Amino acid sequence: MSFVSPLFLWYFMPAILIAVLVLPRSWRNGIVAVGSLVFYATGAGAFTLLLLTCMVVNYAAGPALEPDPWHPHLQRRRRWLLIAVVTFDLSILLIWKYAGFATEQIAWFARLFGGDFPIAELALPIGISFFTFHHISYVVDIYRGERPALRNPVSFGTYISMFPQLAAGPIVRYHEIADQLPQHRSHRLDDIAAGFPRFALGLCKKAVIADSLAPMVDACFSTPAEDMTFAIAWLGAIGYTLQLYFDFSGYSDMAIGLGRMLGFRLPENFARPYSSVTVTEFWRRWHMSLSRWFRDYVYIPLGGNRDGAAKTYRNLWIVFLLTGFWHGAAWTYVVWGVYHGVLLVVERATGRDASPRTTAGRVGRRVLTLFLVIFGWVFFRAPDLGYAFTMLGDMLIPDFTGLNDVVEGALTNQRLVLLLAALAVFFLPAYPVTGPLLESARTKPAAALRVAVMTVGVFYAAVLVATGTFSPFLYYQF
């Protein structure tokens, strides 16, 4: 079930909100947990059993992972239990997400010597990367003593399976939400009043802009490599840069808005990333919940920046190699992660990870950062490395060939207008960020934006959804 499907918008979401408002307050976590599992099962089917199995293992391990100052001799047992549970979680992720990729590499190597090797073909469970990271956050935070284990299985089920963030984030670290999980949590109508405009903003981003740009982007990236031109390459790269942002930030806005309507405060995930002056700043603004997760559970445990420049660069590179691999089992994602890791190391090594002091310097660095990010998205979207390098080559060598008939047909007048309007995100100031402003600001401009989003924007988005002109969120594949 997708947030932009009629089933969700007109039946599931209203039913959950009404149940939460009408039924006793002590039932709310149960309503959210059961509703979330139903939400997941409609799209994942039998994979719901895999999710439930992971939940049972991590929930059962939680109490035994808590620090016990009265029995320090249990520290070794706790450490080995943590290793076992994290290994279990990562094994589930590795098997279901990366077995096919691994066997493809083995089969390729075997063919070099005239051999053969079977390739595993496993369907990817929806949201497996996200609920795996939630489970790891849960057990690690308990082990560190940052929060106690949840004794109530309903509260645990609410945290792991909460439908706003289950399929594509934001990634909610356990210590961020633990204090919100007790069933005596208050829930007021003003939560819905604050959360719905945020949800509506995300719906407009997704249905009106991202899905409208999708056919044009698909046409560009479907162009045979030998027919690629300078114009098609740049149109596809810029179009995808915008499509991905409006699709994923739109999902995040919808998730945060839904969470707020249910009484939860989910973490922010985007803060105008295309306004960044450095690649380092870009990663403080893009998919922020993922960056924070890797910082807390990978970068800092590796040593962070505590042991000198060389180890800091190593840790950065490892984190972004894993970031690329987390996104997908393909060499394109690995290269994309390594590419960003190299950029971050270069910025830190040259002292260019800080914003320039002059206006001209900031403008120049912002333009450079944007181009570097756009080049990176080509690897992210391309079907393989060969195609990505061909496309990048055409982006760097101008020609006067123009667009082919397929791309021209996909670039309708409506999509051209929306593309030009979407380009505004390249020129906006870094602050204020629209989502939090829309949700909580009491200024007249914010009020006017809320009215526009909840009337004209939602009406137009609803028409698009009703006519079936919507597609799955891009991050569902991760």
The catalytic site residues sit at: 327
Task: Please give the Cα distance from 89 to 163 (Å, whole number).
Answer: 20
Q: Which residues 6+ apart lie within 8 Å of 261 measured at CB? A: 17, 191, 192, 195, 196, 199
Task: Please give the Cα distance from 62 to 148 (Å, whole number).
Answer: 8
Classify the C-alpha dihedral 124-126-127-131 as positive or negative: negative
Task: Please give the Cα distance from 243 to 474 (Å, whole number).
Answer: 9
Are residues 92 and 107 in contact, defined by beta-carbon separation less than 8 angstroms?
no
Residue appearing with tokens 């309903």: 154
Structure tokens at 376: 């990176």
Residue appearing with tokens 């005239």: 114
User: How far is Cα of residue 435 from the mean position of the Cα atoms in its chain?
Assistant: 16
Residue appearing with tokens 């207008």: 417
- Number of helices (H), then strands (E), belonging to the chain: the values are 24, 0
The string of DSSP codes covering 207-266 is IIIIHHHHHHHHHHHTS-GGG--HHHHHHHHHHHHHHHHHHHHHHHHHHHHHHHHTT--P
Task: Please give the Cα distance from 246 to 210 (Å, whole number).
Answer: 5
Query: Greatest CA span in the chain, whole angstroms?
Result: 76
- Counting beta carbons within 10 angstroms of the beta carbon of residue 50, is it exposed (0 to 12), middle (13 to 18) or buried (19 or more)? middle
Structure tokens at 31: 């309503």
Query: Kind and range of the H or E element at 38?
Result: helix 28-44
Are residues 272 and 369 in contact, defined by beta-carbon separation less than 8 angstroms?
no
- Counting beta carbons within 10 angstroms of the beta carbon of residue 420, is it exposed (0 to 12), middle (13 to 18) or buried (19 or more)? exposed
User: How far is Cα of residue 333 from the mean position of the Cα atoms in its chain?
Assistant: 14
The one-letter amino acid at 426: F
Task: Please give the Cα distance from 63 to 86 (Å, whole number).
Answer: 15
Burial 338-374 (b: 16+ CB within 10 A, else e): bbbbebbbebbeeebbeeeeeeeeeeebbeebbeebb
Length of the chain: 478
Torsional class of 172: left (φ above 0), alpha (ψ -120 to 50), beta (otherwise): beta
